[in-house]
Amino acid sequence: MRLEKAKLVFRKDWLEIKRNWQVILPIVIVPLMISVFIPVILTLIPNVVSGSEADLGGFVPLVQNLPLSVQDQLAGMTELQVMIYVMAIYFFAPFFLIIPLMTSSVIASDSFAGEKERKTIEGLLATPISDSELLFGKMLVSFIPSMLVTIVSFVVYTAIFDVLSFGLFNGMLLLPNLDWILLIFGLAPTVALASIGLTVIISAKVKGFKEAQQISVILLLPILGLVFGQISGALIFGPLVIAVLAALFVALDFVVFRIGVKMFKREEILAQLA
């Protein structure tokens, strides 16, 4: 596979996306609003709940399954501090796996389905480029913006939470820690690539953008399973769990890409247009 050819596909699509603010604004603004809104709300909790009123209630299973080193650290905190710590560091962490999926789904759904609707697919399929180069270029143009948005959202979340919670935790800076760094730079890219690969395959098979986007929503279900696993305490995103999941998703990325290349039939796509 020639990367230069895949980069040509990326540049062509990226120029079109940059001009389309109706696509860019939602995928940038929504994650950034979430990254600002969550830490602000968390650090406002002490203003509405006193230490004696803090109730760990639903967080008990999550706290009980945390590593012993973290539980030792929590033992020296008030219940209010434990509540905010658990929510900021563990409860909302898996949401940052959803951000790259949300941001990439629009672009990936448009990859081939949009070309069909704009009547530009014939020219694209006629270019002297292999199927693997074409698919990889289409995946890149979804992957790079989605990871940029995810990393910027992570930086914003970290900065706001550390600044606003600095006094509450007696000068401790809780983020970023190793778990979050592995989550954002290790697991999130592999999860995003698997989702993007499947969405691009769907986009090549269906007739329109909306159909591709509706089907791709199903791909969120396994990730929502991981989110609820962490929230319920059944699965804690520690370094080992994140490393194992990242390795599994790397293998899945290769499988999805190989299946995508095998399923990509230019004749079938052209036949849909007839």
pLDDT tens, position by position, 219-237: 788 888 887 887 777 888 8
Identify the weakest region by mean pLDDT among 157-161, 174-178, 186-190.
174-178
pTM, two decimals, is 0.88
What DSSP line would sit under 156-216, residue for residue? HHHHHHHHHHTTTTTT----S-HHHHHIIIIIHHHHHHHHHHHHHHHHHHSSSHHHHHHHH
Identify the weakest region by mean pLDDT among 83-87, 197-201, 262-266.
83-87
Read off the amino acid at residue 167. G
What is the band of 56 on the pLDDT scale with cuts at 50, 70, 90? low
